[in-house]
Amino acid sequence: MTALAGAGRCDPSLIEAARGGDADALVSLIAAAQPDIRRYAARNCRAADIDDAVQETLLLLYRRVGTLRAVTSFSAWLFAVARRACLRLLRQSAGMADTPADDVEMRLAHLAPEDIRIDLSRAIQSLPDHYREVILLRDIEELSIDEIAGVLALTRESVKARIHRARLMIREYLVRDS
C-alpha cells in the first residue's frame, strides 16, 4: 500500500493540488496511481474484473479526491476503494449466474469425470496466485487451516477468507462455462 506514497509519484503537494481542484494535478495523480491500482486489482480481482476495478477506482478518485480529509491517508483510501470494487464485482458475477444451481448440477452430472477434472483444473488455474495456492494446499494437499497459515505466514482468518473467495471464483467459473 505504500507504493503510491513511497514511490514519490504521488507526492503530498500533488495530492493537495488535486484536492484543491487543479485539473492538471488531478490528471497527473490519476496517471501516477493507475499502475499501482492495476497491480492491486491483478492480485485481488478475478482476471475478468481487473480493468473494471481499475476504471471504477480511478473514476471514484476523479470524483471524490476533493472530499479526502487527509493527504496522508490517500493511498490507504485508494486501495480500500480498489478492494471494495474487486469484492463488489466478484459478488456481482457470482449473483448474476443465469442458470439455477440445480440446472448446472444436472449438466455436470452428465459430463464424463475426465471433463469435470479438466474444467475444475482450468477453474483453479484461472485463480490469482494467492487464491490458487490456498486451494491447492487445502483441497489437494489436504492441509489444515492452521498448517496453511503456518506455511504461508498468514492468520487463520486470512486463510479462511482466501479459501472462501477462491471457492466462489471456482464456482463462478464453472457455472459460467458449463
How far, in Å, CA of 168 to CA of 57, rounded?
Answer: 23
How far, in Å, CA of 21 to CA of 54, rounded?
Answer: 22
Question: In the block, which residue shows the cell 504521488?
Answer: 10
Q: Give the lowest-confidence range in 31-40, 83-92, 103-112.
A: 103-112
List the one residue out of 173, 87, 169, 84 whose CA is nearest residue 128. 169
How far, in Å, CA of 177 to CA of 171, rounded?
Answer: 10
Spatial contact of 59 and 85, defined as CB atoms under 8 Å apart: no
pTM given for the model: 0.51
CA-derived radius of gyration, the chain = 20
Of the two residues 2 and 45, the one the predictor is more confident about is 45
Q: Distance of alpha carbon 9 from its chain centroid, rounded? A: 23
pLDDT for 107 equals: 59
Q: For 140-161, write each residue's pLDDT tens digit.
A: 888 899 999 999 999 999 999 9
Across residues 101-108, what is the average pLDDT?
Answer: 56
Spatial contact of 5 and 74, defined as CB atoms under 8 Å apart: yes
Spatial contact of 128 and 48, defined as CB atoms under 8 Å apart: no
DSSP state of 72: G
Q: For 2-36, write each residue's pLDDT tens digit.
A: 444 443 457 788 888 888 888 898 899 999 999 99
Q: Annotate 79-106 with DSSP letters as a single string.
A: HHHHHHHHHHHHHHHHHT-SS-HHHHHH
Sequence-separated (6 or more) residues with CB below 8 Å from residue 31: none
How far, in Å, CA of 23 to CA of 9, rounded?
Answer: 17
Q: Give the lowest-confidence range in 50-59, 62-71, 74-83.
A: 62-71
pLDDT for 15 equals: 87
